[in-house]
Amino acid sequence: MTAHDHLTNGWDRNQMAARAARELRDGYYVNLGIGIPTLVANNVPAGMTVTLQSENGMLGIGPFPYADEVDPDLINAGKQTISQLPQTSYFSSADSFAMIRGGHIDLAVLGGMEVSEKGDLANWMVPGKMIKGMGGAMDLVAGVKRIIVVMEHVSKNGDPKFIPECTLPLTGKNVVDMIITDLAVFERPDHNSPFKLVEMAPGVSAEEVRSKTSAQYVE
């Protein structure tokens, strides 16, 4: 962490998730990725019905189970034990990805390593490091109606992550609709438009965002 970072206010992980949760709408079917995106589930506004999809074959993810109700046959895509809800349904991986690829899921929230100014996403491999695989990320970004990427604004080395061109292997090309970082929110109305800086975290200035972003965007 550099001395400069200590000057930054901005959102913590849960606040980033809460910001993403503001994009939810009543009746939405949503897929949440692993990490910060999972925290979005704790921030669904009261009175709103949002159905969470797990790509291993479930609609209607419930909360973590009580210790005496843990079921090895009931896990989420992160392989964590979960519970079911009265409205839950189960299906195969083929059916699960038919609903993902077929554009039936309203929103997906994923983590990211890099996002380019053209909306390309890289979040699955770093050359030279052990490759674990893309899991369902490529299918989600290709098929879900709206893609929100939640990530730290800069890498551990302080390098921008919202950049002109991705340097890492892509998960999807021209797929990202909104970027939520610890500093700011960028959005674009369609995949032919540039991203626009639409919001900054408390205590963060447009100058700071600019200084930590190498991508071109509209202010």
Which phi and psi angles does 19 have, rounded to 5°? -65, -40
**In the complex with other proteins, which residue's Cβ is closer, 44 or 198?**
44
Q: What minimum distance in Å lies between the beta carbon of 210 and other proteins?
A: 28
**In the complex with other proteins, which residue's Cβ is closer, 51 or 56?**
56
Q: What minimum distance in Å lies between the beta carbon of 122 and other proteins?
A: 9
Confirm if 109 and 16 have CB atoms less than 8 A apart. Answer: no
Q: What minimum distance in Å lies between the beta carbon of 68 and other proteins?
A: 9
Q: What minimum distance in Å lies between the beta carbon of 134 and other proteins?
A: 6
Cα–Cα dist 125/113, whole Å: 9
* Annotated catalytic residue within 23, 55, 114, 208: 55
Residue in the structure block whose two tokens are 């996403």: 121
Query: How far is residue 81 from each of residues 11, 62, 102, 161, measured CA to CA in Å?
Result: 28, 10, 27, 32
Three-class secondary structure assignment of 25-46: CCCCEEEECCCHHHHHHHHCCC
Q: Annotated catalytic, 55? A: yes
Q: What minimum distance in Å lies between the beta carbon of 97 and other proteins?
A: 3
**Local structure of 209: helix, strand or coil:** helix
Cα–Cα dist 24/30, whole Å: 8
Contact positions vs other proteins (CB under 8 A)? 54-58, 63-67, 70-82, 84, 90-94, 96-98, 100-101, 120, 130-139, 142-143, 169-174
**In the complex with other proteins, which residue's Cβ is closer, 8 or 81?**
81
**In the complex with other proteins, which residue's Cβ is closer, 85 or 198?**
85
**In the complex with other proteins, which residue's Cβ is closer, 95 or 159?**
95
How do strand 121-122 and strand 114-116 relate by DSSP bridges? antiparallel
Q: Which helix (H) or strand (E) holds 190?
A: none
Give the catalytic positions in this structure: 55
